[in-house]
A and B are shown apart, each in its own frame.
Chain A
Amino acid sequence: MTARVGIVLFPGSNRDIDAVNALRLAGSEPVLLWHESVDLEGVTGILIPGGFAYGDYLRAGVIARFSPVMRAVAEFAAAGGPVLGICNGFQVLAEAKLVPGALLRNRGLRFVCREVALLPEHMDTPFTREVGERRPLRMPVAHGEGCYYADDATLDALERDGGVLWRYANDDGSVAGPDDPGNPNGSLRGIAGVRNAAGNVAGLMPHPETAVEAILGSDDGLGIIRSLAVSAAEYAATGRVSGTRQLAEGAA
Chain B
Amino acid sequence: MSDQPAYRFAVNVTPKPGILDPQGRAVEKSLPHLGIAGVSAVRVGRRVELTVQAADATAARTVVETLASELLSNPLMEQFEVEALG
Contact = CB atoms under 8 A, between A and B. Distances in A.
Query: Are both chains from one complex?
Result: yes
Interface of A: 58-59, 62, 66, 95, 101-102, 104-109, 147, 149-151, 186
A107 B20 contact: yes
Given A62-B74, A149-B76, A150-B76, A104 B23 contact: no
Contacts, number: 31
B26 to A, nearest CB: 6
Interface residues of B, number: 10
Interface SS of chain A: helix, strand, loop or mixed? loop
A186 B74 contact: no
Highest count of chain A CB atoms <10 Å: which of B20, B26, B72: B20
Contacts of A108: 22
B39 interface: no
Interface string B70-86: 01101011000000000
Contact of A104 (B19, B26, B71, B72): B19
A149 B71 contact: no
B76 A102 contact: yes
A58 B70 CA distance: 12
B74 A102 contact: yes
B71 A102 contact: no
B61 to A, nearest CB: 21
A105 B23 contact: yes
Contacts of B74: 59, 62, 95, 102
Nearest to A110: B22
28 contacts: A58-B71, A58-B72, A59-B74, A62-B71, A62-B74, A95-B74, A101-B76, A102-B74, A102-B76, A102-B77, A104-B19, A104-B20, A104-B77, A105-B23, A106-B22, A107-B20, A107-B22, A108-B22, A109-B22, A109-B26, A147-B20, A149-B19, A149-B76, A149-B77, A150-B76, A151-B76, A186-B20, A186-B22
